[in-house]
């Protein structure tokens, strides 16, 4: 059928009217820079770790966008508990970072009005950073890249009101920034150091706190090296502070506040500040939602690692059940000196840093002197710029990097062992008369949670050894960590294995010496019945260090851990004290006698035998039947050797080292 010209013109007219109507009724798109016109001066970092550059005419509905609430317009910064991070941080952020840096001797100012609409609803209440978000910062672009100003909002679950406080982070003296700490100042409510008594027990709600959704404002002004802070909120007292940024008040240990000693000293963060603090460093402002709650285990760091729900990093699931931080800004202004210079060096150094591989040899540079055997039987002789995920790699705990040694209860073992290991093996060999020295600073993060409590080796790992490479290939030194399930503290002890006299090595045994806690011979009365927890023990995640120095045939041992007594021991490696049956210690008769392991040692012990050091995670828990060896066969769960399942279910050991050295033996200090 042919349409008339009139009908055709009528259809066109209807279409044009419809289009005009759509154009007139279509709402305009609100952009963040229409609300806060400062984005040309900042880069925007998102909760997925990306640097998107200037946020002019930019939005990302997952992290950063503009919104309206009644008559008011806001810019939303949102970030999950877990995503990709920026720089060396443990925490995600959707945050502006200034494109220029400026001297604290010049004039700079940042002010903002905001409200926090959500903080994470999970975490460990004993961890100071849990349930909190940073909404403004001054950050250093140079040196240690520390932060002289961080403004926090924190609210415990079940509370209506939260706290607002600000932290000053010292610009640590010296090259080692792992000793840095924050001092916290309350504004409304508590300071950072007020925490829960256990994982799910919270302090009282602050009477003068700020509720979620309640507006507050801050002004940060820097002039001639001094920082002036003003905080205001309707219905609350306006609070002001002054802080000198170029002349430290924390120059000596005597200057460190008690708050810091209580909060940071237990995790080894006990530094002092350089005398001129942040003088001569470039500073810059940051603003947004820097989520301080993360999913890392509190045993990694009792101040910064929250142990919160992260749903494996699934963004939608975290947003669905409240595991995120969200901050709305209504206004913000920034002023800096015309003398400010480019801050590109900071972004070059930190963009995608969390995605870059840092090899163990970059953390502990002696790796060229070792080879390694890992828990799946893999070997590698060249450890420079080498890692093997799941066994040998690096992590950062928020203050420093560590080398991780991880190995399951069951995998591929060395020829003469029942146990898996991810362990370094020194390439150099030396006789005790010549000597050698090994040091290590470590923390045990996990030991197997299954095993038989009657078996001495259960729930333990060896973190350092001297091993003989000749004769019986026995071990004159093995350093253990052992923790029974349900205990908070474990034991550290060292064993001496005799170099058995004669050709038959079946009679060999270990003599165990307690360092902190029990020795190896302290076992349970039944498979699932444990001895008393050691009062002076070491917790999982608690740092300790050891020095093994063999000089002219004598082994000198030193063990240190903060808040624990330093222990020293001496053992002759070239003249035995176990030559006769009557020399056997009672401990050995009780532990090894029932197995028929009651041999004696050759008179010269390890004299003339080539030895070498070992260091890492030598898992002492295995799946073998305890009825066949009540000392070494632990009957632990192994999931048929499936390594992934063992890792998922706690059937593994994991040890972190942050510092180690190896070299020739040295004359002992007198």
Q: How far apart are CA 78 and CA 319, in angstroms?
A: 9
Per-residue pLDDT, 416 = 66
Tens of pLDDT, residues 490-510: 999 999 999 999 999 999 999
Tens of pLDDT, residues 404-445: 999 999 988 767 677 999 999 999 999 999 999 999 999 999
Question: From residue 518, how far is each of 62, 462, 522 by CA, in Å?
Answer: 52, 15, 6
Residue boundaries of the structural domains of the chain = 32-219+246-355, 394-663
pLDDT higher than 90, residue 146: yes
DSSP string for 65-117: EEEEETTEEEEEEEEESSS--STT-SS-EEEEEESEEB-TTS-EEEEEEEEEE
pLDDT higher than 80, residue 7: no
Alpha-carbon torsion, ordered 359, 362, 364, 370, to 10 deg: 60
Question: From residue 404, how far is each of 63, 130, 298, 311, 424 by CA, in Å?
Answer: 33, 25, 17, 23, 12
Cα angle 566-570-574, degrees, rounded to a multiple of 5: 160
Per-residue pLDDT, 400 = 86
Question: From residue 570, how far is each of 436, 475, 476, 512, 573 by CA, in Å?
Answer: 15, 16, 12, 14, 10
Per-residue pLDDT, 89 = 87
The per-residue pLDDT of the chain, averaged, comes to 93
pLDDT confidence tier of residue 192, bands split at 50, 70 and 90: very high
Tens of pLDDT, residues 368-401: 999 999 999 999 999 999 999 999 999 988 788 9
User: Are 445 and 514 a contacting pair, CB within 8 Å?
Assistant: no
pLDDT higher than 60, residue 24: no
Q: What CATH number is given for 32-219+246-355 in this structure? A: 2.60.120.200
pLDDT higher than 80, residue 141: yes
Residues near 411 by beta carbon (within 8 Å), at least 6 away in sequence: 375, 376, 377, 420, 641, 643
pLDDT confidence tier of residue 641, bands split at 50, 70 and 90: very high
pLDDT confidence tier of residue 344, bands split at 50, 70 and 90: very high
pLDDT higher than 70, residue 3: no
pLDDT higher than 60, residue 669: yes
Per-residue pLDDT, 85 = 87
pLDDT confidence tier of residue 87, bands split at 50, 70 and 90: confident
On the question of a common fold for 32-219+246-355 and 394-663, the answer reads yes
Q: How far apart are CA 397 and CA 414, in angstroms?
A: 31
pLDDT higher than 60, residue 358: yes
Question: From residue 452, how far is each of 165, 484, 523 by CA, in Å?
Answer: 49, 10, 9
Token pair listed for 501 = 């006299």
Token pair listed for 252 = 């000596």
Residues near 489 by beta carbon (within 8 Å), at least 6 away in sequence: 483, 517, 533, 534, 535, 536, 537, 538, 539
User: Are 151 and 186 a contacting pair, CB within 8 Å?
Assistant: no
Q: How far apart are CA 211 and CA 135, in angstroms?
A: 15
Per-residue pLDDT, 6 = 34
Q: How far apart are CA 512 and CA 478, in angstroms?
A: 9
pTM over 0.85: no
Token pair listed for 97 = 């970072």
Tens of pLDDT, residues 642-668: 999 999 999 999 999 999 999 999 999
Q: How far apart are CA 291 and CA 325, in angstroms?
A: 6
Question: From residue 337, how far is each of 36, 222, 340 by CA, in Å?
Answer: 20, 11, 6
Tens of pLDDT, residues 202-237: 999 999 999 999 999 999 999 999 999 999 999 999
Q: How far apart are CA 94 and CA 97, in angstroms?
A: 10
CB count within 10 Å of CB 205 equals 16
Q: What mean pLDDT comes out for the span 123-135?
A: 97
Q: How far apart are CA 657 and CA 400, in angstroms?
A: 11
Q: Where are the alpha helices (DSSP H) in 200-285?
A: 258-263
pLDDT higher than 70, residue 612: yes
Per-residue pLDDT, 28 = 54
User: Are 655 and 463 a contacting pair, CB within 8 Å?
Assistant: yes
User: Are 392 and 403 a contacting pair, CB within 8 Å?
Assistant: yes
User: Are 99 and 41 a contacting pair, CB within 8 Å?
Assistant: yes
- CATH 2.60.120.200 for domain 394-663, yes or no, is yes
Per-residue pLDDT, 23 = 39
pLDDT higher than 50, residue 18: no
Q: What mean pLDDT comes out for the span 307-335?
A: 97
Tens of pLDDT, residues 255-284: 999 999 999 999 889 999 999 999 999 999
Q: How far apart are CA 337 and CA 435, in angstroms?
A: 61
pLDDT higher than 70, residue 155: yes
């Amino acid at each position: 059928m042919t349409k008339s010209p009139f009908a055709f013109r009528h259809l066109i007219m209807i279409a044009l009217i419809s289009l005009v109507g759509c154009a007139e009724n279509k709402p305009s798109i609100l952009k963040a820079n229409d609300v806060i016109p400062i984005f040309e001066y900042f880069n925007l970092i998102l909760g997925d770790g990306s640097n998107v550059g200037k946020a002019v005419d930019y939005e990302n509905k997952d992290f950063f966008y503009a919104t309206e609430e009644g008559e008011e317009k806001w810019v939303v910064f949102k970030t999950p508990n877990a995503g990709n991070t920026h720089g060396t941080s443990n925490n995600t952020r959707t945050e502006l970072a200034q494109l220029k840096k400026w001297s604290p001797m010049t004039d700079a100012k940042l002010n903002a009005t905001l409200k926090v609409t959500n903080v994470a609803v999970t975490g460990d209440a004993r961890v100071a950073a849990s349930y909190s978000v940073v909404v403004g910062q001054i950050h250093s672009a140079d040196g240690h890249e520390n932060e002289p100003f961080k403004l926090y909002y924190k609210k415990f679950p079940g509370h209506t009101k939260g706290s607002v406080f600000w932290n000053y982070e010292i610009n640590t003296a010296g090259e080692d920034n792992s000793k840095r700490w924050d001092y916290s100042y309350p504004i409304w409510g508590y300071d950072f150091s007020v925490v829960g008594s256990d994982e799910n027990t919270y302090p009282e709600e602050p009477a003068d706190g700020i509720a979620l959704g309640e507006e507050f404002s801050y002004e940060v002004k820097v002039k001639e090296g001094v920082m002036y802070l003003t905080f205001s909120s309707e219905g609350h007292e306006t609070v002001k502070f002054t802080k000198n940024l170029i002349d430290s008040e924390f120059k000596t240990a005597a200057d460190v506040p008690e708050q810091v000693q209580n909060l940071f000293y237990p995790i080894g963060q006990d530094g002092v500040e350089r005398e001129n603090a942040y003088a001569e460093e470039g500073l810059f402002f940051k603003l947004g939602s820097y989520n301080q709650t993360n999913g890392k285990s509190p045993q990694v760091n009792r101040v910064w690692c929250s142990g919160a729900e992260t749903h494996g990093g699934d963004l939608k699931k975290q947003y669905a059940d409240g595991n995120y931080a969200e901050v709305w800004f209504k206004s913000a202004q920034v002023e800096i000196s015309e003398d400010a210079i480019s801050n590109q060096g900071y972004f070059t150094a930190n963009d995608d840093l969390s995605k870059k591989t840092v090899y163990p040899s970059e953390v502990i540079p002696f790796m060229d002197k070792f080879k390694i055997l890992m828990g799946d039987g893999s070997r590698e002789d060249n450890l420079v710029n080498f890692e093997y995920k799941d066994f040998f790699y690096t992590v950062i705990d928020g203050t420093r990097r560590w080398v991780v040694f991880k190995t399951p209860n069951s995998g591929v073992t060395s020829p003469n062992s029942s146990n898996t290991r991810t362990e370094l093996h020194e390439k150099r060999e030396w006789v005790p008369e010549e000597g050698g020295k090994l040091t290590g600073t470590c923390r045990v993060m996990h030991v197997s949670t299954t095993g038989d409590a009657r078996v001495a080796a259960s729930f333990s790992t060896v973190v350092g050894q001297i091993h003989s490479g000749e004769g019986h290939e026995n071990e004159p030194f093995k350093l253990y960590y052992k923790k029974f399930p349900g205990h908070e503290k474990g034991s550290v002890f060292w064993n001496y294995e005799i170099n058995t006299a004669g050709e038959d090595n079946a009679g060999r045994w270990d003599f165990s010496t307690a360092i902190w806690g029990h020795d190896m011979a302290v076992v349970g009365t039944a498979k699932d019945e444990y001895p008393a927890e050691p009062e002076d023990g070491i917790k999982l995640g608690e740092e300790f260090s050891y020095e093994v120095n063999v000089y002219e045939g004598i082994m000198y041992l030193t063990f240190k851990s903060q808040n624990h007594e330093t222990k020293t021991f001496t053992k002759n490696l070239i003249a035995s004290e176990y030559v006769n049956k009557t020399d056997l210690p009672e401990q050995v008769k009780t532990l090894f006698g029932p197995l028929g392991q009651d041999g004696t040692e050759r008179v010269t012990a390890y004299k003339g035998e080539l030895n070498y050091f070992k260091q890492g995670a030598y898992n002492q828990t295995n799946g073998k039947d305890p009825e066949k060896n009540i000392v070494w066969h632990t009957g632990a769960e192994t999931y048929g050797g499936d390594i992934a399942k063992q890792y998922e279910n706690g059937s593994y050991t994991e040890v972190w080292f942050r510092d180690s050295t190896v070299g020739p033996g040295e004359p002992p200090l007198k």
